Structure 1
Amino acid sequence: MSAITNYDLFEELYAFIENPNNDINATIKEFGGSSFYIPSYKTTIRNDEIIEKYKQNLGQTGYVKKLAREYDLSEAQVYAITKDVREPGLF
């Protein structure tokens, strides 16, 4: 069983609010008093996109540079984001 992340909690809130049977009162009853962190684009979607594109293009010369330009990042930032793909841990 994996730990529940802020992203998981945000998905639960979003699904609850999206349900037409839940009004503002139901939302307050369910989530009132809670503190929510809404995940940033860069730490969820953008980094996942970069990792997937990197995996699909492993071994392609100059691809890190291309990703850096595409996402307006430095090559060092792309290397940091893709570190786990390039250097898998033991566990």
Structure 2
Amino acid sequence: MAPDITVYTVPGCADCEAVKRLLKGKGAAFTEKNVREDPAALAEMQARAGVRIAPVTVIGEQVFSGYFDDQRPGLLAALEAAQ
């Protein structure tokens, strides 16, 4: 069974869009949470990742944060392991 995937984003974020493109390209279903418009999502992101800056990607129990280029290797490995 595929792990739950959540992407915490803010509008106009190029790295957020890149994470979503990668996941869509791999056929991975995910839930997007806009932390700018949803204070509960911001609190959830901070609790899970310990950061205040999007994007944050959660795949199962794994948490990835930072620029897309920093997240990409981990995201690909996590998606590969989930198949």
Between Structure 1 and Structure 2, the one with more strand by share is 2
Is TM more than 0.5 here? no
Between Structure 1 and Structure 2, the one with more helix by share is 1
Name which one, 1 or 2, has greater alpha-carbon Rg.
1
Higher relative contact order (CA 8 A, sep 6+): 2
TM-score, scaled to structure 2:
0.25
TM-score, scaled to structure 1:
0.24
